[in-house]
Chain A
Amino acid sequence: MSGILLSIKDLYLNFRTFWGVSKVLNGVDFDIREGEVFGLVGETGCGKSVTAMSILRLLPSSADISGEVIFKGENLLLKSDEEMRKIRGKKISMVFQDPMTSLNPLFRIGEQMVDVITTHLSIEREEALGKARELLRSVKLPDPDRVLSSYPHELSGGMRQRIMIAMALSSNPSLLIADEPTTALDVTVQKSVLELMLELKEKYGFSILIITHDLGVVAQICDRVGVMYAGNIVEIAPVNLLFEKPLHPYTKGLLSVIPDPRTKRRLKPLRGSVPSLLNPPPGCRFHPRCDYVKAACSREKPSLLEIESGHFVACHLYGGNENACG
């Protein structure tokens, strides 16, 4: 259960832009264990999607990346393009946010699925079609034959997202990356898609990296969570600990701004706004918005320390970081 499948170490990512260098990832570290659901949560622009793209090396040529992405003992950043193509979609699959745009509107679902299946498995068309039918059944789509002969626009958003999941699972991946998989769906549909993902995970035994801005989704499906802010992981914890005992001031802030449908409570917004990554604040990137800021915060970047078993935080308020440069 607890073998490590993917390990990201000290990942830095810069984009060269017209306005200067955007420092998008600033030393990201985390592990994904076998069979677990790991959530990356954060607000727009915190770097959660780009972290996923870095794992698959789906980055534009303006990107400069350094660090390590160790998948099953091998550093993906050192692989050739040819080798990467064999990993993408086969060992690591991805489901994107918008099921409308991730399917080709001009081809029937069947053709698109057969295309994907025959790319990764060396089987004939007929056999692939059978496999597609079986996959559609496993994602609980009724009447697979009708779905196979439909065009994407004939299907609802929830159905399309199920098809994306079916395609992602076609080659038995070890890791499924889901980037905001339910953000475009209505809540009633969201619930059934999330439950489906968990069920399939149990059945096939892959790990899931889910990227989301919705702490409700995190609470309902993740085993462990990493909270990102402005290109850094500020806290990693098992899901229960994160909600019961958040340590980082940003995590605390994030938890206090979710409107709860069960009771009305005062929302306490964080002051200020997310910094520009072209010119991020020195030291801890959260310090200009933090209520507990100390002298060290603007000078030194806090490192991610384990405060209690499995609970990591990058903040000068905790652990050995307390005394860093006084």
Chain B
Amino acid sequence: MLVVEGLKKYFFIRKGIFKKKTLVLKAVDDVSFRVERGETFGLVGESGSGKTTAGRTILRLYEPTAGKVLFKGVDIFKLSKEEFRKIRPKMGIIYQDPYSSLNPRMTVFDIIAEPLREYGCQKLEERIIKLLKDVGLGEEHARRYPDELSGGQCQRVAIARALALDPELIVLDEPTSALDVSVQAQVLNLLEELQKERGISYLFISHDLGVIRYLSRRVGVMYLGKLMEEGDVESVLGDPLHPYTRILIESIPIPDPGTRGKKGAVVAGEIPSPLNPPPGCRFHPRCSYAKEICAKEEPPWVEVSPGRFVRCHLYT
């Protein structure tokens, strides 16, 4: 469904009084993965890892610096604006904050109608009522404004809007991070049902490994713009290879007091600034297995077993 190859997105930041110095922020640096039809690929990482930028660049919301994105075999970066406009309805996006991603001055009806009108669809009313029903809202919600809805209901409206043009791929950027756990569970179940019914592919971006585990089949772990590890969700979370993935998993507070006292690996320091990433392996200053080579050479992306990739000198 979606093949991402060598995707790069650099931001150029001008500094100084005359803006002569240019800093390069490599938000996404050579990222490759694929999302299969009807499946969910999870992209996990901490703040500043570049996961959101990756998601947005894939939809051309940012102009890519380099790389290819094949959507159903078509390289969407090569398409003209007009051609891309024809494909775009097949790709949807849902953002993290349900309040700021819905226009507060539009009714729910108009919010969902906007993409439909944009693409000249007919029978708006009928379609919108059906969409509302599909996401678990009623007809009565159509006339309301976002501030009259709860966070969970707003996120359902955002889902309805993303579904309006029958997309085949939806980028979900932390869709439940702003919600309480009980509401999150409702939204996750809804997303799962919709995927089963409609066969939509999801690119699911999150910092929460529990949520990733719940929806994804494959998962990629990002750190400072690079993919560090990729594989089936069971094997990556059950048997992590990269020291960073291991630390990420061990840091999650498990809701079971029986697991207490297991000290686990504590990681030194915090994620460095992406403006000035460490040389060699980007994780090496925080890694307890760091060898000499780690500070000098960037580890290659190796396939250790079929479908299981890792970027670490321990496996080369």
Which residues of A are in contact with B by a Cβ distance under 8 Å? Answer: 43-44, 156-159, 186-192, 194-195, 213-220, 239-240, 243, 253-255, 257-264, 267-270, 273
Contacts and interface: CB of A to CB of B under 8 A. Distances in A.
B208 A186 contact: no
Nearest to B208: A259
B186 A261 contact: no
Nearest to B286: A188
B184 interface: yes
Contacts, number: 120
A189 B252 CA distance: 10
Nearest to B263: A195
B183 interface: yes
Contacts of A159: 270
Interface stretch (B30-38, B73-81, B254-262): B254-262
Q: Which of B181, B183, B208 is most buried by chain A, counting CB atoms within 10 A of its CB?
A: B181
Contacts of B207: 186-187
Majority secondary structure of chain A interface residues (helix, strand, loop or mixed): helix
A162 to B, nearest CB: 11
A84 B257 CA distance: 36
Interface size class of B (residues with CB under 8 A): 35 or more
B181 A261 contact: no
Interface of B: 46-47, 150-152, 180-186, 188-189, 207-214, 237-238, 247-260, 266-267, 270-271
Given A187-B248, A188-B267, A260 B181 contact: no
Contacts of A191: 250-251, 253, 266
A281 B237 CA distance: 43
A264 B214 CA distance: 5
A202 B213 CA distance: 35
A243 B254 CA distance: 11
Contacts of B271: 186, 188
Contacts of B260: 219-220
B217 to A, nearest CB: 10
A190 B180 CA distance: 19
A30 B75 CA distance: 61
B180 A269 contact: no
